[in-house]
Structure 1
């Protein structure tokens, strides 16, 4: 679950991380009231889960009530990279002396946590990584051992954090690690982490992604969950209980198991295609589940072909094949479908599908062959 900035600041506050006080507003009048409470100059910030708010005009500094009213009216309802601004965060403008970047996240490849720290904050960390890769300090952390104060101090030294901010940054990093671990976050990012002109270090922004698998441990997340924004595909998938993430490609993906689904996305990319989604059926691939998956993918106008990649372990491929046939009888596809079945009773499954093969239903025996065929079809339909 990705949090909005104001929710991320609420999350940080639970772990003692200092942030700029402010208030949330969904109307112009409420934004003006919050600006009056915060004191002028006040910053009015669009609450959207996408970068580039400032460049898009979604962050403005108001020096009085009239400006607060004007800026709030312009920002509320604004479209920023396809995200509609429904609320703004209003806080007193900070006097910034220095800006830094700090985050904890997961490095799945290394199977460790990762601290990233830079003295170049206030810009996208990806831009820093490209223009000045040596300006970022990376520290891998064993989840069992955690991170020590000495490691944090070494990182702050390596990042060349200003001496006047040194102790403040160390303190924030210690608290941020606690928030990341105890708060079951996949990402806890502060950009910028600022040193103000009074010599205090605090979080000016907050980007937090929470692990949905830990929801049962955090009843306090319930209110945040109500504000999660899904696109039409993701909303439908959630209603049908599917593990689905919408992407922007042209090959619709259906697979059983998260690992196989991710591998399918990788292979599609390797042969020159682009995935329209991640969709994991889980352990089963019944007619009902397959129908639900096809219905969700059918709502995506960008999909030019559907690639079904199933490995039969506990579930037998012949049962999957029968499920697919039944599902195709329920859902009228708007794109051809390429099917790859392997594992238990795979040959039987292919025999079941053989009479129905056509230019709109193609069966391939390997994942690579299926991916190549699907990408070929997608490129023709593009």
Structure 2
């Protein structure tokens, strides 16, 4: 789960990472009140989970509370890279002397964590790595050993930070690591980390990604979810404990096992080139799915207005084909007249004969059975094109 900037700021503050004053505002009036409470100049920043806010006009300096109201009025409702701005962050402005970069992330390739630190902040870190690699320290972190004060200082020196801020930056890194571990994050980035005119080092902007797989350990993380931006079908699937991701195609996909579902996406994408259609979703009902799970999954896909046909591709193992067939029949019975889209079914494996018999006897006009994955994918794509 990616956090908004204001959420990242609050999370940093809760773990002792130094930050400037900040508040979220959903209306111009709220922006004015927040700015008035801080006093002096503030920065009004669009809260969207994409980069390029500044270039799009989504970050503006306000000289007063009244000015903050006007700036918020201009930013709220604007579109930045397809994202509508529904809220702004009012951040305390401060004179900046230097900008740095600091981040901790999960390094999947090396199966550990990675700290990146650079004296060159305020720009894309990829640009620093390309143009001035000597200014970017990249240090692997063992999960068991963590980051000691000595290692933190060594990383800061490798990042070529000035001697007068080494101690402060090392302290920020230690607190950032503590936050990273405590919150089960996969990314915590401060860009820029700044030195203000009074010599203090503070986090000015941040990105945080939390591991959804660890959500059960963090009941408080639910409050950070942006329900307004969550696809309603994905939210419903989550309630049903289904692994569902909405895509931008027309052929609904259901399979058992992530590997089979991904293979199905590829086959449908290939078959769909002829008909100019694509997969509409990823939906894995799992290895031990019951008829109820199958029914829930099919109901979600049939509720997607973009879906024109459905391809159910199941290789029976723990999930027997007869359970899948019963789930399909059950879902269509529950949906009744609401089910109007053709369903192409390919069953193989455990109890396949019984599964096919159940579907044949149901004799539902929406169901078509094919024996091969390629043939079923082609038929589903053809039906979606009609």
Q: Tell me which interval the TM-score lies in, with the shorter structure as reference length.
A: 0.7 to 0.9
Task: Report what 1:363 is aligned to.
Answer: 370
Change (3 A) 1:167 1:311: farther
- Residue 344 (str. 1) matches residue 350 (str. 2): yes
Q: Which residue of the other structure, out of 359, 373, 378, is the alignment partner of 2:378?
A: 373
**Do 1:243 and 1:279's aligned partners in 2 also have CA atoms closer than 8 Å?**
yes
Once residues 172 and 125 of structure 2 are traced to their aligned partners in structure 1, the CA distance between those partners, rounded to angstroms, is: 19
Tell me the SS of whatever aligns to 2:67: helix
Shift of 1:250: 4.7
Tell me the SS of whatever aligns to 2:229: coil
**Do 1:251 and 1:374's aligned partners in 2 also have CA atoms closer than 8 Å?**
no
Change (3 A) 1:47 1:360: same
Shift of 1:256: 3.0
Change (3 A) 1:347 1:55: farther
After TM superposition, list the pairs within 5 Å mapping 1:142-221 onto structure 2: 142-221=142-221
Shift of 1:21: 1.1
Once residues 59 and 2 of structure 1 are traced to their aligned partners in structure 2, the CA distance between those partners, rounded to angstroms, is: 20
Shift of 1:374: 7.5
Task: Report what 1:49 is aligned to.
Answer: 49
After TM superposition, list the pairs within 5 Å mapping 1:1-382 onto structure 2: 1-125=1-125, 137-225=137-225, 229-258=229-258, 260-261=260-261, 275-303=279-307, 305-331=309-335, 336-346=342-352, 348-350=354-356, 361=368, 363-366=370-373, 369=374, 373=378, 377=382, 381=385
**Do 1:137 and 1:159's aligned partners in 2 also have CA atoms closer than 8 Å?**
yes
Shift of 1:62: 0.5
Shift of 1:197: 3.0
**Do 1:304 and 1:377's aligned partners in 2 also have CA atoms closer than 8 Å?**
no
Q: Aligned pairs, how many?
A: 379
Once residues 246 and 221 of structure 2 are traced to their aligned partners in structure 1, the CA distance between those partners, rounded to angstroms, is: 23
Per-residue CA deviation, residues 162-215 of structure 1 (Å, 9 max, x unaligned), is 444433332222211111111122322222222333332221122223234444
Once residues 152 and 73 of structure 2 are traced to their aligned partners in structure 1, the CA distance between those partners, rounded to angstroms, is: 43
**Do 2:268 and 2:378's aligned partners in 1 also have CA atoms closer than 8 Å?**
no
Give the unaligned 5+ runs of structure 1: none
Once residues 119 and 375 of structure 1 are traced to their aligned partners in structure 2, the CA distance between those partners, rounded to angstroms, is: 54
Give the unaligned 5+ runs of structure 2: none
Once residues 385 and 295 of structure 2 are traced to their aligned partners in structure 1, the CA distance between those partners, rounded to angstroms, is: 23
Once residues 166 and 113 of structure 2 are traced to their aligned partners in structure 1, the CA distance between those partners, rounded to angstroms, is: 22
Tell me the SS of whatever aligns to 1:187: strand
Tell me the SS of whatever aligns to 1:51: coil
Task: Answer with 19-28 or 274-283: which moved more.
Answer: 274-283
Tell me the SS of whatever aligns to 2:298: helix
Once residues 265 and 110 of structure 1 are traced to their aligned partners in structure 2, the CA distance between those partners, rounded to angstroms, is: 28
Shift of 1:71: 0.6
**Do 1:304 and 1:336's aligned partners in 2 also have CA atoms closer than 8 Å?**
yes
Once residues 267 and 151 of structure 1 are traced to their aligned partners in structure 2, the CA distance between those partners, rounded to angstroms, is: 49
**Do 1:2 and 1:208's aligned partners in 2 also have CA atoms closer than 8 Å?**
yes
Q: What is the root-mean-square deviation of aligned Cα atoms in Å?
A: 3.8
Tell me the SS of whatever aligns to 1:90: strand
Task: Answer with 79-88 or 264-273: which moved more.
Answer: 264-273
Shift of 1:358: 9.5
Once residues 132 and 345 of structure 1 are traced to their aligned partners in structure 2, the CA distance between those partners, rounded to angstroms, is: 61
Shift of 1:370: 6.9
Once residues 132 and 278 of structure 2 are traced to their aligned partners in structure 1, the CA distance between those partners, rounded to angstroms, is: 30
**Do 2:310 and 2:380's aligned partners in 1 also have CA atoms closer than 8 Å?**
no
Tell me the SS of whatever aligns to 1:66: helix
Task: Answer with 72-81 or 330-339: which moved more.
Answer: 330-339
